[in-house]
Amino acid sequence: MPDTPAAPEPFVARTTPEAIEDLRARLRATRWPDAPEDAGWSLGTDLDYLRELVAYWADGFDWPAQEAALARLPRFRTRVGGLGIHFVHARAVAPAGPVLPLVLCHGWPDSFWRYSKVVSLLTDPGSHGADPADAFDVVVPDMPGFGYSDRPTGPPLSSVAVAGLWAELMRTLGYERFGAAGGDLGSHVSRYLALDHPDRVAAVHRTDGGLPVFAGDPATLTAAERAWFAEAATWGATEGAYGAIHRTKPQTVAAALNDSPAGLAAWIVEKLQSWSDGGVERYTRDEILTNITIYWLTGTIGSSMRMYNANSAIPAGQLTRRVEVPSGFSVFRGDVVRPPRAWLERTANAVRVTEPDRGGHFAAFEEPELYAQELRDFFRPYRGESGAA
């Protein structure tokens, strides 16, 4: 029996002084590995960079200040599918037309943090030099096992299952029809929202096309698609070790990362370096450490990695379904494994494809103004199809 919808309750995270002191003590006691001279980032996380980051985390980073800043977002918890789900729910400010509800789906290694800079840009565009008619009601949930949502105690949930939860969450919030957007794992979740709930999803926006899965005749692929397949295979061989671990043996590395904050930082900052347009220099230390500290304090690195294991069991037939809901793609210049337009049109009803000239895998955080404008432009024709509460 499904849960009876319950009214969401306001949520404020409060970290105890003991938890902060334990974190600092662990950071100061880090047992550092060696590294070859001048290795830099070539073998993984740059040791010199990590030492400096950890030193600042231990003795300079003001987590209470960052926690207070995140608390300014309207945050809630409710039960969906038997799990406690944490989410941001911010309503449009002074809208000048129909309001489109929008669920934003994050990826790994992050949480609602990914969208923390764009909430105001999307709910109150008029205060940011944009058209007030483009205002959204914004919902940003933490996926189960990420951030402040519950960790599943049984088998990990796949993107298909999470999409079902978000459809239920949006109904609980009073939204029968809405838009969906996401990147990374959130791109998968958004895709399955459109596939499994086409009567409710007005349109879907994604920042990637996922990794290529093709069951048809290779002769029908364009030259650009074949080149992309080869590029994706090369990327998997050089950058995909993390994914292989997450899919197969996540618990092994979780034991280390959940015990060592320095190890956790190394695991995450390597991805910020490799996947961002400009690497870690694109962020302040406070921004990076806010993301990592959420993982540390919630103990969710293991549960977040297990979602890859769940996704590896999704049947091939699901992976090759074509999205017929109107789809938009913003393929940012600095992202990884950038699909050609031919592939996007093959796999989705791609009504709009853009290639912003800056921004990477975490575009919503790296380039919030540009990302927000991409969403405004794409969703504008679908506002009259919403079911705002």
Residue 11 belongs to a domain: no
pLDDT of residue 97: 87
Residue 203 belongs to a domain: yes
Residue 56 belongs to a domain: yes
For 364-387, what is the mean pLDDT?
A: 91
Residue 226 belongs to a domain: no
Task: Please state the φ and ψ torsions of residue 386, each to the nearest 5 degrees.
Answer: -85, 170
Q: Catalytic residue among 137, 361, 371, 382, which?
A: 361
4: left (phi over 0), alpha (psi -120 to 50) or beta: beta
Residue 196 falls in the annotated catalytic set:
no
Q: Catalytic residue among 110, 134, 150, 184, which?
A: 184
Whats the size of the chain, residue-wise?
389
Residue 3 belongs to a domain: no
pTM: predicted TM-score of the whole model, two decimal places: 0.96
Residue 36 belongs to a domain: no
Structurally, the chain folds into a number of domains equal to: 1
- CATH, residue 194: 3.40.50.1820
- What digits encode the pLDDT tens for the residues 129-150? 999 999 999 999 999 999 999 9
Q: Which domain holds residue 177?
A: 43-211+234-385
Paired with 181 in beta bridges are 104, 205
Residue type, 161: A
Residue 73 belongs to a domain: yes
Residue 28 belongs to a domain: no
- What digits encode the pLDDT tens for the residues 220-244? 999 999 999 999 999 999 999 999 9
Residue 308 falls in the annotated catalytic set:
yes
Q: Catalytic residue among 308, 335, 371, 382, which?
A: 308
**Rounded CA separation 267/283 (Å):** 16
Task: Tell me if 58 sits within 8 A of 282, measured CB to CB.
Answer: no
Q: Which residues contact 98 (CB under 8 A, 6 or more apart)?
A: 383, 384, 386, 388
